[in-house]
Amino acid sequence: MEQTGSTTTQARDRGQISIEAKVSDLVRLGIIGLFAYWTMLLVAPFALIVIWSAILAVALFPMFDALSRLIGDRPVIASTAIVIACLVLIIAPLGLLAVNFAEAVEMLIEKLTAESFALPAAPPVIREWPVIGERLYTGWNQLAGDLASNIIKFQKPLLHVMGLVIAKLASISGGVLSFVVSVILSGFFLAMSARLAETIHVLANRIGGEKGVGFARLAGTTVRNVSRGVIGVAFLQTFLCAVCFAAFGIPARGALTFLVFILCLIQLGPGLVLVPAIIWGWFTWPTSIAFAFTVVAVPIMIVDNVLKPVLMARGLSTPMLVIVIGVIGGTLSYGMLGLFLGPIVLSVFYELLRTWAWPAQSQNELNDPEKVHTV
């Protein structure tokens, strides 16, 4: 009986200790959760900039690594040079482009307000075309007159919509400033890239083991592929279009260039702007100038078909729909910064989800030499 009572007492003591241990664990978790919540509140205003800076650092790391080796393993100098180059070659043109686009929209609203908006009349040269010239000339002028009157008739709804557009464009200066801060912060990440890579490797290993490390590498590869193959090619085509528009004196070239950039980001290409511009040029300019513009514009429209397979390392399987949703959703949610952040984040999520859901298929693709990611 005494032995049974002693066993019961010991069991009760063990149960009490177990309950106290669980309560202690809950208290610790509560304290950690509370501090994590406060930390999130403090970091939240800067989270978007920090995330974009990290993405920039991952995308620019191959260039940084090559430059650092070239100058004798000097990461600080290499990161500083890359930051300056990004500010000069990307941020400044992007800021001017956004400002020109805002000015073009503002001028359009002023014309609508003053009821002075009118579509251009058909060029007289169209009347000289055989068979369809006279009809096309008359129909053009009728359409232009009716369309102008309809625009004036629906002036108030159009002004309301344009007002919303202007309100959205008012955040452009803040977006450009966020870009500048992100580029500068990415330079610090690049300078500390070795330590940060080791930290990410340890955290990924603690969270998911070898599979977590593989996911981290896949995320980095996807970031580089999307940055080079989508955003990089979009920047290049937009720059070429801007130079072409400026050289040939295209009207409203700021707004058209910004539209080209959006179309390139969502994988539609600059053809939706360049083809109408070519048609307009043949109607408006002398034949020699229109022919020269066509010769310059056509290669710009197809340059992405050559560059994307090279820059995207043949391993990215992200559908165009994911990139389109990322561009539109990112822009609506976070403005100008989300324009670039959205497609990258969604592409990374898609690739990770695809690898997690179909591991066998993903492993076969990784083993295929034609689809090996460049890490």
- 19-70 pLDDT, tens digit each: 666 777 788 788 888 888 887 788 777 788 888 888 888 888 888 888 888 8
Report how far Cα 207 is from the mean position of its chain's Cα atoms.
29
- In terms of average pLDDT, the best of 19-23, 209-213, 306-310, 352-356 is 352-356
Model confidence over 320-329: pLDDT tens digits?
788 888 888 8
Average pLDDT over residues 362-366: 51
Confidence of residue 317 (pLDDT cuts 50, 70, 90): low
What is the distance between the alpha carbons of residues 195 and 85, in angstroms, rounded to a whole number? 24
Model confidence over 143-169: pLDDT tens digits?
666 555 555 555 566 556 556 665 655
pLDDT at residue 374 greater than cutoff 50 = no
Mean pLDDT of the chain: 75
pLDDT at residue 199 greater than cutoff 60 = yes
Integer CA distances (angstroms), 43 to 16, 25, 50, 185, in order: 40, 26, 9, 15
What is the distance between the alpha carbons of residues 351 and 316, in angstroms, rounded to a whole number? 8
pLDDT at residue 210 greater than cutoff 70 = yes
What is the distance between the alpha carbons of residues 218 and 370, in angstroms, rounded to a whole number? 16
pLDDT at residue 236 greater than cutoff 50 = yes
Cβ–Cβ contacts within 10 Å for residue 345, how many? 19
Average pLDDT over residues 179-185: 84
Average pLDDT over residues 2-17: 55
pLDDT of residue 169: 57
The two three-digit tokens of residue 183, written as one number = 């580029």
Is-contact 235 59, C-beta < 8 A? no
Integer CA distances (angstroms), 187 to 23, 57, 87, 165, 328, in order: 45, 7, 11, 34, 28
Report how far Cα 92 is from the mean position of its chain's Cα atoms.
17
Integer CA distances (angstroms), 325 to 232, 265, 328, 342, 345, in order: 18, 11, 5, 8, 11
pLDDT of residue 375: 36
What is the distance between the alpha carbons of residues 333 and 330, in angstroms, rounded to a whole number? 5
Look up the pTM and report it.
0.62
Average pLDDT over residues 254-265: 81
Q: Please tell me which residue, 111 or 5, carries the higher pLDDT value.
A: 111
Longest dimension (CA), the chain: 120
